[in-house]
């Protein structure tokens, strides 16, 4: 069961910062989820939104800034004064700190154009088998599969349809990522019988977390990995 700290332990620390990732691991997460974007000068880095306002003291589209400029931003104060000075993190730095740990990494590609560099970095750190590349965008996943026939792929969707299952087969995806509220036990069984891993996302509260566990999902991204760790401990 993959307990993936969603943008790190984002309930307790500013999302997609080293503080949030380390907190997730302290809370027993077995993996980390994060979002990939591209700076103006082509550096792959971690940010959820297209724009900077919500999670940094910057303004505008992140893609209009060089990595040097992005590194100057404060990515922690918006969350709490105690996190002032947290910085945006490049994929290379993220891998430097976390690739050698025995954990799973779920890397969500938020935009086109970073597929090749991301795969190159994964190869450099030799961790392709402990990574799942995910995206809401089919085109990105198709490109990833063209570039790498082995890397694990997860398709992020709201709920599954026959077309989505056909697409998953087409790109030899290992995983389907469904919104927690659409998950049912029958659905999970059917998807598993089709050879897919089922991972939940948007697990808003503990009730949904328990629902997903009862339905037998293979993992979930969660803002409060401590609560999932505790629930799993009780089951075992
Ligand atoms: O776990 C998948 C989830 O991260 C997708 O949604 O908005 O958090 O990127 P979002
Ligand atoms: Ca994400």
Q: What is the 3-state secondary structure (H, E, C) of 188-227?
A: HHHHHHCCCEEEEECCCCHHHHHHHHHHCCCEEEECCHHH
The pLDDT of residue 128 is 80
Q: Is the CB of 201 under 6 A from ligand 1?
A: yes
The pLDDT of residue 235 is 79
Backbone angles phi, psi at 45, to 5 degrees: -140, 175
Calculate how far, in angstroms, residue 179's C-alpha sits from the geometric centre of ligand 1. 9
Q: Is residue 112 within 8 Å of 144, Cβ to Cβ?
A: no
Nearest CA to ligand 1 atom 5: 201
Q: Is residue 88 within 8 Å of 11, Cβ to Cβ?
A: no
The CB density around residue 146, as the number of other CB atoms within 10 Å, is 10
The CB density around residue 185, as the number of other CB atoms within 10 Å, is 12
Name the residue of 105, 156, 199 to mutate for ligand 1: max ligand atoms within 8 A of Cβ.
Answer: 156
Q: Is the CB of 155 under 6 A from ligand 1?
A: no
Q: Is the CB of 131 under 6 A from ligand 1?
A: no
Closest ligand to Cα 201: 1
Backbone angles phi, psi at 101, to 5 degrees: -85, 150
Q: Is the CB of 156 under 6 A from ligand 1?
A: yes
Nearest CA to ligand 1 atom 3: 201
- From CA 36, how far away is CA 219, in angstroms rounded? 20
User: Which ligand 1 atom minimizes the distance to the CA of 134?
Assistant: 2
Q: Is the CB of 197 under 6 A from ligand 1?
A: no
Q: Is the CB of 47 under 6 A from ligand 1?
A: no
Q: Is the CB of 15 under 6 A from ligand 1?
A: no
pTM for the complete prediction?
0.97
Residues linked to residue 106 through DSSP beta bridges, in sequence order: 33, 132
Distances (CA, A) of 98 to 65, 142, 194: 26, 26, 32
Q: Is the CB of 221 under 6 A from ligand 1?
A: yes
The pLDDT of residue 236 is 66
Nearest CA to ligand 1 atom 2: 201
Q: Is the CB of 12 under 6 A from ligand 1?
A: no
- Which H or E run contains 33? strand 31-38
With b meaning 16 or more CB within 10 Å and e meaning fewer, what string describes 22-54? bbbbebbbbbbbbbbbbbeeebbbbbbbeebee
How would you write the pLDDT of the chain (236 residues) with one tens digit per residue?
999 999 999 999 999 999 999 999 999 999 999 999 999 999 999 999 999 999 999 999 999 999 999 999 999 999 999 999 999 999 999 999 999 999 999 999 999 999 999 999 999 999 988 999 999 999 999 999 999 999 999 999 998 999 999 999 999 999 999 999 999 999 999 999 999 999 999 999 999 999 999 999 999 999 999 999 999 999 76
């Amino acid at each position: 069961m993959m307990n993936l700290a969603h943008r790190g332990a984002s309930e307790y620390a500013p999302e997609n910062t080293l503080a949030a990732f380390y907190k997730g691991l302290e809370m027993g997460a077995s993996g980390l989820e994060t979002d990939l974007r591209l700076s103006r000068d082509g550096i792959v880095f971690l940010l959820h939104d297209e724009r900077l306002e919500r999670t940094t003291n910057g303004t505008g589209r992140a893609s209009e800034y060089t990595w040097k400029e992005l590194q100057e931003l404060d990515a922690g104060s918006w969350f709490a004064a105690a996190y002032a000075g947290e910085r945006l993190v490049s994929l290379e730095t993220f891998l430097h700190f976390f690739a050698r740990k025995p954990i799973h990494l779920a890397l969500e590609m938020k935009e086109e154009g970073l597929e090749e560099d991301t795969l190159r970095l994964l190869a450099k750190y030799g961790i392709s088998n402990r990574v799942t590349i995910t995206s809401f965008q089919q085109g990105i996943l198709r490109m990833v599969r063209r570039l790498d026939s082995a890397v694990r792929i997860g398709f992020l969707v709201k709920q599954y349809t026959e077309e989505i299952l056909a697409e998953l087969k087409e790109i030899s995806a290992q995983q389907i990522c469904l919104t927690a509220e659409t998950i049912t036990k029958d659905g999970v069984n059917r998807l598993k019988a089709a050879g897919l891993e089922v991972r939940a996302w948007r697990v808003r509260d503990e009730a949904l977390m328990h629902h997903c566990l009862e339905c037998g999902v293979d993992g979930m991204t969660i803002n409060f990995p401590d609560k999932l760790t505790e629930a799993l401990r009780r089951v075992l």
